[in-house]
A and B are shown apart, each in its own frame.
Chain A
Amino acid sequence: MRTSHVKFYQTGTFTVGNRLLSETERSVQSTLERTNALNSGHRACQGCGEALGARYAIDAAMRATNNQLIAANATGCLEVFSTPYPETSWQVPWIHSLFGNAAAVATGVAAALRVKGRTDTRVVAQGGDGGTTDIGFGCLSGMFERNDDVLYICYDNEAYMNTGVQRSSATPPTARTATTQAVGPEPGNVFGQGKNVPLIAMAHEIPYVATASVADVRDLEAKVTKAMSMHGARYIHILVPCPLGWGSAPHDTVKLARLATESGLFPVFEAERGEITDRRTIRKQVPVEEYLRLQRRFAHLFKPVLQVDVIARLQAAADRNIRRFGLHGQGEL
């Protein structure tokens, strides 16, 4: 096949392969061979972080497995916007069963592949934060503890977006959702609740756990590729901003993901068998306010009066992450 070099002109983003790199180091998305696992024509909103994250993640997983991949999907935005015929967008064998069982369905797929001797074919399960940290948590933990040969990817947009932005156990404190309204003496989601599933995944001592965001899709691709080079239970937790639920501009999706990581609110790290092996250090810490201001879900922190104390609590949480995960390059978990 004749190939020609594709030139990319985007600057200031990490989203497309960098033409300054050698061809072998370029991103999956920059190659003509990319599979477009999640093809165009689906029904996601403009600026959807989940669609972006899913395409990069599954394309990378397909490249890592020579396209011998099966995907199991939880109910949620990703399933709904990608499947209605004739607009189904999946270029990969794909099954959706229920909201809370994607990890278990993937376990079944992996077991069948094993008995069928199809050792070259691998399985990925994927879901949003609701399907992962809440309703699918039992099945996820079961898959982890059995060390089933599944990569589970959580696209975390920090609420139940598909049903109209309700709070999940991944919703951050103070965020306004349809069930944590911006009213009363403590508007938005409360402090002191929620769970950190990457850390819980690590507690299962599974082979690989990583966090990533759509701000650094090269890092995301690398982590998916690494995960697919391993066997057993693996977990990648990807922060995917949601313009609808966060009340942000569609063109700010990547920017917000970057601000989340650069502020320390969303630590990006890797862990193997329960121990952190790498983290993405922050070059220059951004105040959380910069991240919060771009999102209407936090608007009540700024109007009618600036909630200095509340913002300080969020800043303290970000600072703690930086200390705890060594995001300045020196801390320890």
Chain B
Amino acid sequence: MLKQIEGSRAVAEAVALCRPEVICAYPITPQTHIVENLGQMVKAGEVDNCEFINVESEFAALSVAIGASATGARAYTATASQGLLFMAEAVYNASGLGLPIVMTIGNRAIGAPINIWNDQQDSMSMRDAGWIQLYAETNQDAVDLHIQATRLAEELSVPVMVCVDGFILTHAYERVDIPTQEQVDAFVPAFEPRQLLDPAEPVTIGAMVGPEAFTEVRYLAHYRQMQALWLIPELAEEYEQQFGRSTGGLLRSYRSDDAETLVIALGSVNGTIKDVVDKLRDEGTAIGSVSITSFRPFPAKRLREVVGQARRVVVIEKSLAVGIGGIVSTDVRMALAGAGLPVYTVVAGLGGRAITQASLREALLKAHRDVLERLTFLDLRHDVIHREIERLETQRRSGPVAENILRQLGSVADHIG
């Protein structure tokens, strides 16, 4: 059914349609509206047989989900940013134990400096935690991916993060097609756990494992994600047949067939990128783009196929590996090793800075002419950083960097956008 609704509401409705049994809620911007909506639905009796638990921290939220999942309940939670870091120990634990929890990430920057706006540093920090990571390009994607994630998680017994750009998607009101309960029931069967805490058949879950078996346990976690490389497209195809909408599987390519320059990104920024690609195409530039849906597992083979005959790749990154540069770029380079293509990293949109078509266009045209630096920061204000670097070099007690820069900039309202 078509609805004009907020992204968070759409995600909440999709999660509710998946018949969650235990939902753990802790507020953090920009995810909060999702659990608020779910809480309302559960309290009003609109979700059958579901426990909604207000916990005292994100660490507890995922821990409660771990206990519930191990006892055979379909468990869900949502978080963002600092919340994801606060639960980090449980994030690794849930995947280590092989518990198929689905968690929404309302992508947001990580402090300090504290910042509530969107980038993808939070979920990137958990890229090696053993969770499957799916990135939504639109709110329709967010809905469709949550439904697929529930089935994917339970088939593989691997937890799945569905990453939805904070504010840009979570707080955007737009038209979303919400499937019916019958449709979702037909796609997502009842949870049949691989392991269960049950007095009828006592098992020990979470035992100490030493060097004799640790590598094998870890390898099997990798093996299950490798299985997801074929299961994700398979589920996407089945979903498309049943719901009439494509989520693209591991990735989506756009006007990439004869592209000399290929732009790679995750999440909502692909909308802007596609607009820029269209305009550049109109001007005769052979450019296309790839939106990576599955960042974990990383679709290396599929990416090589899509890159094909391209001459260069530009990765637009909403995160920063301080000290080296790009995070996604590293995986892209590894996937394309031996192809001899230059891979340009453009760090953009940190802490919610708008990624404009004008700035993107300039960067992409430079890349297309191979005159772009290998690592650039979109719209970085060089005058501001030079002044601060000078202060650092001339004053021992130079003060807090963030506050110095804010003082330089003056009133906030003049600098948004």
Contact = CB atoms under 8 A, between A and B. Distances in A.
Whether chains A and B associate is: yes
Contact of A96 (B69, B73, B198, B207): B207
Contacts of A67: 199
A106 B55 CA distance: 13
Interface string A73-93: 100000110011100101111
B197 A104 contact: no
Contacts of A111: 22, 51, 53, 64, 67-68, 73
Contacts of B65: 108
A36 to B, nearest CB: 12
A313 to B, nearest CB: 36
A74 B148 CA distance: 33
Contact of B55 (A68, A104, A110): A104
B25 to A, nearest CB: 12
B67 A79 contact: no
A108 B57 contact: no
Contact of A85 (B64, B66, B89, B207): B207
A108 B67 contact: yes
A333 interface: no
Given A68-B199, A91-B202, A98-B93, A115 B73 contact: yes
B202 A90 contact: yes
- Output the residue of B59, B64, B208 with the most chain A CB within 10 A: B64
Interface range on chain B: under 10, 10 to 19, 20 to 34, or 35 or more?
35 or more
Nearest to B70: A95
Interface in B167-181: none
B205 A96 contact: yes
- Output the residue of A93, A100, A104, A110 with the most chain B CB within 10 A: A104
B56 A141 contact: yes
A274 interface: no
B197 A83 contact: no
B90 interface: yes
Contact of B205 (A84, A95, A104): A95
A97 B73 contact: no
B72 interface: yes
Interface string A129-170: 000000000110110011000000000000000000000000
Nearest to B213: A85
A67 B209 CA distance: 27
B199 A121 contact: yes
Interface range on chain A: under 10, 10 to 19, 20 to 34, or 35 or more?
35 or more
Contact of B89 (A80, A98, A112, A115): A98
Contacts of A69: 199
B352 to A, nearest CB: 30
Contacts of A85: 204, 207, 209
A109 B199 contact: no
A34 B69 CA distance: 30
Contact of A108 (B63, B203, B205, B209): B63
B84 interface: no
B210 interface: yes
Contacts, number: 154
B272 interface: no
Interface in B202-225: 202-210
A138 B90 contact: no
Contacts of B22: 108, 111-112, 115
A110 B210 CA distance: 30
B406 to A, nearest CB: 33
Nearest to A120: B199
Given A93-B202, A105-B66, A112 B207 contact: no
B359 interface: no
A101 B59 contact: yes
Contacts of A97: 63, 66-67, 90, 93, 97, 206
A262 to B, nearest CB: 37
Interface string B58-96: 011001111111111101000000000000011001000
B199 A104 contact: no
Contacts of A113: 71
B97 A104 contact: no
A70 B59 contact: no
B49 interface: yes
A84 B199 contact: no
Contacts of A95: 66-67, 70, 197, 204-206
Contacts of A302: none
A105 B197 contact: no
Contacts of B73: 108, 111-112, 115-116
A114 interface: yes
- Output the residue of B50, B71, B75, B198 with the most chain A CB within 10 A: B71
A112 B20 CA distance: 11
Given A83-B207, A85-B207, A146-B53, A108 B68 contact: yes
B54 interface: yes
Contacts of A108: 22, 24, 63-71, 73, 75
A113 B201 CA distance: 15
A177 interface: no
A80 to B, nearest CB: 6
A94 B195 CA distance: 12
Given A101-B90, A141-B56, A146-B54, A115 B63 contact: no
Given A93-B198, A141-B56, A104 B207 contact: no
A90 B199 CA distance: 12
A32 B346 CA distance: 71
B53 A100 contact: no
B21 interface: yes
A29 interface: no
A120 B71 CA distance: 14
Nearest to B97: A97
A107 interface: yes
Contacts of A138: 56-57, 59-60
5 contacts: A88-B204, A92-B199, A121-B199, A142-B55, A142-B56
Given A83-B207, A108-B68, A109-B70, 17 more contacts: A73-B206, A79-B206, A85-B207, A88-B204, A92-B199, A94-B202, A97-B63, A98-B89, A101-B90, A106-B67, A108-B65, A111-B64, A112-B21, A112-B22, A114-B51, A138-B60, A146-B55
Name the 6 nearest CB pairs between A and B, nearest first: A108-B67, A142-B56, A112-B71, A96-B206, A104-B63, A112-B73
Interface of A: 67-70, 72-73, 79-80, 83-85, 88, 90-98, 100-101, 104-116, 121, 138-139, 141-142, 145-146
